[in-house]
Amino acid sequence: GLSTLILALTTLSGFALWWRARSQPAVLRAAQSGPSPRTLLDDLKRACQANDPQATRQALDAWARQQPETLAEMAARFVPLSDALDGLNGALYSETGQYWQGEELWRAIGTIPTAEQAQPTPGESSSLPPLYPK
């Protein structure tokens, strides 16, 4: 009868609402809890392009906090980043700061290999043939 139809419709609309909420990308929900890595990267890019060492340092620290590794760890395995950071720190603590160019740092950030890529794949070291004692 009619009551069954109404019940079916309300159940359906409830399901539709639940489905809409569920299918909303997690990114939208995460964005409310703090700046997304994407936004932080945009801030960093702007600071680098403005050749502003102070702003770049702040943006870099904020971005690095969202990364799985520390800035030091990334720099330790990626020389261009290490060099760029040296340049940035030099600019921050010396008179030549106003001549700092952010291009090198931004390029380094954009080309950091992920930690997974940098790790030797398991199996490489164990590919030596086993030794059979005679």
pLDDT in tens, 69-103: 999 999 999 999 999 999 999 999 887 667 899 99
**Domains held by the chain: number:** 1
Q: With DSSP H G I counted as helix, E B as strand and the rest as coil, what are the percentages for the chain, rounded to 5? A: 70, 0, 30
Residue 36 · residue 27 · CB < 8 Å: yes
The reply to whether 22 falls in a domain is no
Listed in sequence order, the residues at least 6 apart from 113 whose beta carbon sits closer than 8 Å to its beta carbon are: 77, 78
The reply to whether 128 falls in a domain is no
Mean pLDDT comparison of 29-33, 37-41, 101-105, highest-scoring range: 101-105
The reply to whether 59 falls in a domain is yes
Q: What is the pLDDT of residue 50?
A: 96
The reply to whether 78 falls in a domain is yes
The candidate with the shortest Cα–Cα distance to 104, out of 75, 78, 74, 84, is 84
Tell me the three state secondary structure of residue 54.
helix
Record the pTM.
Answer: 0.60
**Domain boundaries, position 53:** 33-113
The reply to whether 24 falls in a domain is no
The reply to whether 134 falls in a domain is no
The reply to whether 47 falls in a domain is yes
The candidate with the shortest Cα–Cα distance to 39, out of 51, 27, 50, 49, is 27
